[in-house]
Structure 1
């Protein structure tokens, strides 16, 4: 397995090329080009601010910020799932004609989505600064760790889904339905202690919950996140990534034939 990881690292140039093609190609032919990667998240944030500060009023101070700091990472995760699930199928010409570790296709998809997330954080920081809400710079030191944990978690799931979808195309539609429900079992719109019963149990077992909560602790509450929960999430993400690589290697020999 580690030899495979070394091989993937040797193809880092190919990964970089695929990431650049992804970021530029999504809006190829448009006037704004790459800048749509920044404009679209900005428009999403403005919509959330308008709706949740003017239309839907919650008894949470600065609810728009409470929502945005969790919603943007959640949208990145869902984008990884929706785009990554069909990444191998969508690059069928490369898979069937050129040899390379096929994992680099979903890997490049996830990297591109997280570059968009980093651009989104520039907007979030600007929003916090303009609103005069301030920062806890000690808490901000934990932000790269949270991003890294979410990245590994998204990568593991995306690698599994991309491989399984080659054999079962219905997976992409199942993923879409699961993601629609996922926002209600992840602490994006609310805190875990705002709900109880069965939903609270699902939130507690959701491995993404401590990650999303950590974003909110750092950027909204300006607190150091719950480290013990983060380490559990990190351990889960690493084990999941190793399982994902094992499953991918088992399914990979049939890709060319199935595609």
Structure 2
């Protein structure tokens, strides 16, 4: 609890780290922040053509289903990838001045969260253009965003910590993220998975988190209570576990970065 209070005390520094990260990411880019909206749309277009035209996915408004799964996944994978190298890349800063080391991966996650929130604009434009109704169930989205943010923070803490001690973990992460993508209901719905294999998705927290985000948008209803409980519990547990692992080993970072 004291470490969480410490993060709050350093909130201005955290804000500056996030702003710096965003500026560096779009430095010398002509379109700048517009890429946060263009990237998911371009990816959605390619995947929609492949799966609805070539693979014959016969789902009405498949583009909405696709982008509502892509957005939380892009946030998760982008944030984890940025956080992975964050502690190592900020090694010189950590050796010069004292700052809570947890701010480093946390700033990577929050900068990606800003992109995620901006990307909601094209999502809702697409929903309106395709005639999907905007229902009161959309009021549940802040909770869904909180779930994915907490879960992502937990994974980011663990991965950034592991990468300090095992530099090969950078290459392993690419494989892990890619496999996790296909094992999560990003380009399909969980109910499209054969019953025989569906048990695997019940053990995947991202499957429940993505569905909690997608269902209010695509189905116009609240997600099932079971999915909400699993998503919320998994997110909080992952955050607490990841944060505790990070705090346990952060004292050794200076010797390894």
TM range (shorter): over 0.9
1:192 corresponding residue in structure 2: 190
Q: Cα deviation per residue 1:154-207 (whole Å; 9 max; x = unaligned)?
A: 001101111111011111211110111112211112222222366422211101
* 1:167 paired to 2:165: yes
Provide the secondary structure at the position in 2 that maps to 1:102: coil
| 1:1-259 superposed matches below 5 A | 2-136=1-135, 138-196=136-194, 199-259=197-257
CA shift in 2, pair 1:43/1:158, >3 Å = same
Task: Assess if the C-alpha contact under 8 Å between 1:15 and 1:108 holds in 2.
Answer: yes
Q: Do the aligned residues in 2 keep the contact of 1:83 with 1:109 (CA within 8 Å)? A: yes
In 2, distance between residues paired with 1:174 and 1:197? 30
How far apart, CA to CA, are the structure 2 residues paired with 1:101 and 1:26? 23
Cα separation, partners in 2 of 1:32 and 1:194, compared to 1, 3 Å = closer
What per-residue deviation string (whole Å, max 9, x for no partner) do you get for residues 9-67 of structure 1?
11111111111111121121222333333333333333344444444431211212111
Structure 1 residue 211, shift from structure 2 partner: 1.1
More displaced, 45-54 or 100-109?
45-54
CA distance in 1, matches of 2:112, 2:159: 16
SS in 2 for 1:142: helix
The alpha-carbon deviation at position 99 of structure 1 amounts to 0.6
Give the TM-score, by structure 2 length.
0.93
Aligned to 2:205, what secondary structure does the other structure show?
Answer: coil
Residues 81 and 175 of structure 1 are in contact (CA less than 8 Å); yes or no, is this contact kept in structure 2? no
- Contact kept in structure 1, 2:37 and 2:121, CA below 8 Å: no
Q: What is the TM-score normalised by the length of structure 1?
A: 0.93
Consecutive unaligned residues of structure 2, counting only runs of 5 or more, are none
Distance 1:81 1:224 in 2: 28
> Are the aligned partners of 2:14 and 2:103 in contact in 1 as well (CA < 8 Å)?
yes
User: How big is each residue's C-alpha offset from its partner over 1:97-121, in whole Å with a ceiling of 9 and x where there is no partner?
Assistant: 1211111111111111111111111
Do 2:41 and 2:122's aligned partners in 1 also have CA atoms closer than 8 Å? yes
CA shift at 1:236, angstroms? 2.1
Deviation at 1:227, TM superposition (A): 2.6
Shift of 1:230: 1.4
